[in-house]
Amino acid sequence: MTELFTAETIDQAADRLQNGELIAFPTETVFGLGAVAENEAAVAKVFQVKGRPSDNPLIVHIGQAEDIFNYAIPNEESEALIKKLSNAFWPGPLTMVIPITEGTFPKNVTGGLNSVGIRFPDNEDTQALIRAVGKPLVGPSANLSGKPSPTTVDHVFHDFSGKIAGILASQPSRIGVESTVLDVTNPNQVQILRPGYITEEMLKAAIPDLSVSTVSLTDLESADRPKSPGMKYRHYSPRQEVIAVAPNQLTDYVLTHKEHKQLGVMAPKNYLQAMGSGIASYEIEDSVEDAMHNLYAGLRYFDDQEAIDEIVVIIYPDIEGNKAYRNRLTKAASQVIE
């Protein structure tokens, strides 16, 4: 049985983790599937339950910002940058990939690399849980691998009821997509490995002299070991085909195809009204922030409807503030129409 824990029963959840069991926990991004990061057998359960590829590294979650220095290889230049970034963005949706010595964490955490992603999540109950355990936790999204990530307790129960020890209850995730992953192993040229809520513009605003670029995933070969989750494998996909359509083509696409397919459409109200009857709808506000917040919930909503043949989702232009939303949606989509 999968038990529901609350802020009042965090110590019980911590005991289960210390005994090698799995507990899902809330964060501001999505819910994570927690295991003690130093427990290789417990981490192996995470891969087994999720059906996750074995070379896909995990992000390690800490209970206070300064704990990152327990794991990073000492380096004056790197430490200065890590402190600036943590002061600006932690607790929050930024993961820093840091260099570590071999054996700091099991190989199934690091993907066999001498680096690891570290994050200090912005959820007080989860921070308290990590501190109660006394050790950091891995926390990949608490969903079946490849499927849309969970942003509510119900989403986690849907995928893992009876398969994990428990879930730490919380309100739905505030942001709705996974953290930005920033590779700081070379402090002179940091790289965004996975876009998220924290954008390149925000990083440069906080640290004006920061040299930062975004990695192109098309450069990653099939034999390469990814430094971050979200770089190599298809993610976030429901059963049905997902078609991402630009705003200026969205209504025409739906009107053309709704007679031949049962469509589920995720879009703002004015678009849905123009499409008329004969579609299933998931309404969002006309902003990329709301679309990002609701993307996984909308995909899961349609995924549970057997009658839906195809999911159509609005995709916003490729500008800086839209990159995280576009990244997740295009990974889920079989076709992008712009």
Sequence-distant contacts of 86-90: CB under 8 A, at least 24 apart: 86/120, 88/206, 88/207, 89/198, 89/202, 89/206, 90/65, 90/120, 90/122
Say if residue 131 carries a ligand binding annotation.
Answer: no
CB 179 within 8 A of CB 198: yes
The reply, when asked if residue 170 is annotated as ligand binding, is no
Q: Residue 73 has which token pair?
A: 């290889």
Instruction: Confirm or deny that 216 is annotated as ligand binding.
Output: no
Exposed e or buried b per residue across 161-199, where buried means at least 16 C-beta atoms within 10 angstroms of its C-beta: eeebbbbbbbebbebbbbbbbbbbbebeebbbbbbbbbb
Check the annotation: does 326 bind a ligand.
Answer: no
Q: Collapsing DSSP states into helix, strand and coil, what is residue 117?
A: strand
Q: Is 194 annotated as a binding residue?
A: yes
236 is in an annotated binding site: yes
Does 141 show up as a binding residue in the annotation?
A: yes
CA distance 266 to 290: 11
Alpha-carbon distance 178 to 200, whole Å? 16
Distance separating alpha carbons of residues 276 and 263, to the nearest angstrom: 12
Kindly state the DSSP code that residue 24 receives in the 8-state scheme.
E
256 is in an annotated binding site: no
CA nearest to 202, candidates 182, 218, 188, 187: 182
Residue 257 assigned to a binding site: no
Q: How many CB atoms lie within 10 A of CB 288?
A: 20
237 is in an annotated binding site: no
Annotated binding site: 29, 52, 56, 61, 119, 141, 149, 179, 194, 236
Annotated binding site for ATP: 52, 56, 141, 149, 194, 236
Annotated binding site for L-threonine: 29, 61, 119, 179
